[in-house]
Amino acid sequence: MSHISVNSWLKRYKKEGITGLQIKEGRGRKSLIDKETDQEAILTIVQGERQRLQIAKAEWEALSGKTVSKTTFRRFLKALAEPTSVSENDASKP
């Protein structure tokens, strides 16, 4: 950690208080796959190619014009998945 970072945090804290130290929008690397625009197309393609993730990824890349790694594509699908296990307590609730 550099003294420059600490000094900038201190200035932001003095100027804006604790809210000035929160991470602001627009920081960091942007996602290659946008949930709002790409979700429907990806899910449609994956439903047709359930057992072949690499083929589904290639179809989506051709359709969208974007290129992502297999890991990124898998991570996006995993984030969309809902939990599949239901505990006994949840199953008994109406």
Q: Is the pTM of this model over 0.85?
A: no
Segments in the chain forming alpha helices (H) = 3-16, 35-48, 53-64, 70-80, 88-91
Based on the structure, what is the number of domains in the chain?
1
d(CA 63, CA 94) in angstroms, rounded, equals 42
Domain containing 37: what range? 33-81
Residue 3 lies in a domain: no
pLDDT in tens, 18-73: 988 888 777 778 888 888 888 888 988 888 887 888 999 999 999 999 999 999 99
Residue 22 lies in a domain: no
Residue 67 lies in a domain: yes
- Do residues 43 and 80 make contact, with C-beta atoms less than 8 angstroms apart? yes
Residue 75 lies in a domain: yes
Which residue, among 25, 21, 22, has the nearest Cα to 10 in the 3D structure?
A: 21
d(CA 4, CA 31) in angstroms, rounded, equals 28
d(CA 77, CA 85) in angstroms, rounded, equals 17
